[in-house]
Amino acid sequence: MSEKLIIKGQNQASGEVLISGAKNSVLKLMAASLLCSDVCTIYNVPELSDVEIMLDVLAELGAKTSYDKSKKKIVIDSTNLTNNTASKENVSKMRASFCVLGSLVGRLNSAKVALPGGCKIGERRVNFHIKGLETLGCECKIEDGYVIAQASELTGSSICFDIPSVGATENIMMASVTASGTTIIQNAAQEPEIVDLANFLKSMGANIEGAGTSQIIVHGVNQKDLKGCEYTTLPDRIEAGTYMSIIVASLGHGIIRNIFPNHLTLFTGKLLEMGANIKLIDPNTMEVSNNKRLKAMNFITQPYPGFPTDLQALAMALLSTCDGISVVTESLYENRFMHIPEFWRLGANIIVSKKHAIIKGVDFLVGTQVNSTDLRAGAALVTAAVMARGETEISGLQHIDRGYEHFVDKLRGLNIDAQRISENTENFCTIGDNRYEPRSTKV
């Protein structure tokens, strides 16, 4: 059923929003649970289509799962894996599922995992993943759309990435948990989600140092010594940045709860530079407001702790009505400007030159029909629609469903006029607790 999101613009935000568990973390924790022949329980799990896809991947591999959405809890029993192959049908839907490669190699010394899918924001190569596994002793090949990895034994080694790669860092970290000796990952990704994964693995019995820095050291342990654990996922910093942007765009005032503010230091600084008002109420609660036209500013997307590429489109939405000219440079993904033609439809004045976007702020945007081209573009279009005069209809909601839990409900909680409707029946519906069917496999 085709659906669209209707936003009536220029309603000032007011109210509170509770940030969910981090999508980009929980999916990797689920993959990592395959490393131990035991039961793992993960809390603070957001209700997302991507979580459903990962559950399907785990079930295909033989894990038994139970998902209690009311308690935001997933139980994964990986005692008896029956398969080392993650099929194209599932992995092609979501790139994060490719991280079962590292956990399968670490658990079984072999894996056959389809090449990844997900948002088409640019080339995301798997060569770093393969290079790292080969350094640990795997023989790897790509055949018929699959990465096939096989090792008689994994041996710790020193691995240096040409550039920091989140997915490769995660895959190699998981594979090296059971490698003999010590593995050193240099020029490693430093994202908070990397730290969350390392803490989860340590809760299982792994020996990891340095997560959150450019050098991660993994001292191998016996697979049989890894035990099940209970773990709570960290808050989603990108979701927090999204609602910060929406509140600022609306010229409103809102409270954002369940956040780790230090994960958003640079983004918060840029919003302050533009003229927004942001202050901490307590260590995990932020007050955000804005009552004036914002000022232009420039930024370059970079690996953490730099400006997050996942918030680039949202910041561009804010800049579209700022005073002055802004320059946005996207240094990570070559197709991350696909939202710009949709911004043009709303009246934005943006010129694209290779990896640069030059934005001259207009007096106002005007609502129209637009299409979400990827997950963060969808959230950015909502931010632009909040500013626009009149009504904006946003299609392509399957992208938004991948990364935002109960999005309409949370928008309404902030006094944003948002409705999700079916295009063929015009029946209203929201992203509610029963949107997705429960899994057929149970612990």
Question: Rg of the chain over CA atoms, in angstroms?
Answer: 22
**How many Cβ atoms are within 10 Å of 424's Cβ, its own excluded?**
9
CA angle 353, 397, 125 (to 5 degrees): 50
Residue pointed to by tokens 């895959």: 171
- Give the DSSP H or E segment for 230: strand 230-232
Sheet with 428-429: strands ordered across: 369-371, 391-395, 3-8, 417-422, 428-429
Q: Are 187 and 214 in contact (CB under 8 A)?
A: yes
Which residues are designated catalytic?
Answer: 119
To the nearest 10°, the Cα dihedral for 64, 69, 72, 78? 0
**For tokens 């997050």, what's the residue?**
308
Secondary structure (DSSP) of 73-137: EEEEE-SS----EE-HHHHTT-GGGGGHHHHHHHHHSEEEEEPP-S--SS---SHHHHHHHHHTT
